[in-house]
Amino acid sequence: TFQDIICSANLQHDCFRANCQAIGQEEVRQEQELIGKTHSVIVHADEDGFVVNTHALHNA
């Protein structure tokens, strides 16, 4: 339940160690409109490798 949550953590997939690959480009949308920019489409090699983003951790 919501009351059982004691903290949150920011995890990022570890693409470097998993050797994930970019397979192409995708057009970027902003508020449902194409904005003339692209970004890489990544295929993740595994679903278990993550790192904790310690920069996102701080005292409230």
Residue scoring higher pLDDT (9 or 18): 18
pLDDT mean across residues, the chain: 87
Read off the pTM: 0.55
- Per-residue pLDDT reduced to its tens digit, 30-54: 999 999 999 999 998 888 889 888 7
C-alpha span between 25 and 36 (Å, rounded): 12
* Residues with Cβ within 8 Å of residue 41, at least 6 apart in sequence: 22, 23, 24, 25, 26
Residue 28 has which token pair? 């970027």
> Once rounded to an integer, what is the mean pLDDT over residues 18-28?
94
How many CB atoms are closer than 10 A to CB 22?
11
* pLDDT score, position 60: 54
Per-domain boundaries in the chain = 8-56
* pLDDT score, position 59: 63
Q: Please determine, for residue 9, whether its predicted confidence score (pLDDT) is greater than 90.
A: no
